[in-house]
């Protein structure tokens, strides 16, 4: 029974540590709102301070309530993840791993919001003039974690049908 909690905690811890180390490196190596071309036509390192949610949603200096709102949402997400973990079967490694990644991503971005009032985003992928919104390790873990949960759901549905 404890194995699923250890696996979830391991994914969350690795995510938080990698997220915070990379953000600290960007914070110390670059000035806010600057960038460095790494792979021409494909990838830049940038230093963006995002007060909003994913892809800059609600990133507006005139909105004063987004910081506490997103901290509360992060804490609520961790509570929901904890509840989902209680319901998850020990053998469902995809679900357990996904929940750990999402918890780590939510906590990693919440740490930024608490200490900085915004989230450091620094990965900028693009093709020609089209740039995907900048993101970070925590955002990547949220996305991969969601993919793991979807995969788990599909695999469990297939097992139930056949």
Per the structure, the complete domain to which residue 60 belongs is given by 2-161
Tokens 């904890």 — which residue? 82
Active site residue 139: yes
* The total number of structural domains that make up the chain: 1
pLDDT at 161: 86
pLDDT at 54: 61
Q: Which of 60, 121, 124, 128 is catalytic?
A: 121
pLDDT at 1: 61
pLDDT at 57: 57
pLDDT at 25: 99
pTM of the model: 0.90
The two tokens of residue 39 are 């792979």
pLDDT at 101: 98
Tens of pLDDT, residue by residue, the chain (162 residues): 679 999 999 999 999 999 999 999 999 999 999 999 999 999 999 999 998 766 555 556 655 677 788 889 999 999 999 999 999 999 999 999 999 999 999 999 999 999 999 999 999 999 999 999 999 999 999 999 999 999 999 999 988 887
């Amino acid at each position: 029974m404890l194995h699923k909690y250890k696996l979830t905690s391991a994914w969350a811890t690795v995510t938080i540590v990698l997220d915070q180390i990379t953000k600290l490196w960007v914070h110390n190596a670059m000035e806010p709102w600057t960038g460095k071309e790494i792979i021409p036509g494909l990838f830049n390192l940038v230093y963006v301070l995002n007060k909003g949610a994913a892809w800059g949603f609600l990133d507006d200096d005139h909105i004063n309530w987004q910081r506490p709102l997103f901290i509360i949402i992060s804490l609520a997400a961790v509570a929901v993840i904890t509840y989902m973990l209680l319901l998850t079967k020990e053998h469902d490694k995809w679900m357990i791993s996904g929940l750990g990644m999402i918890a780590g991503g939510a906590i990693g971005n919440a740490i930024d919001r608490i200490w900085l009032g915004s989230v450091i985003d620094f990965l900028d992928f693009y093709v020609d003039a089209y740039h995907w919104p900048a993101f970070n390790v925590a955002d990547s873990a949220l996305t991969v974690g969601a993919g793991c949960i979807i995969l788990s759901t599909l695999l469990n549905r297939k097992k139930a049908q056949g």
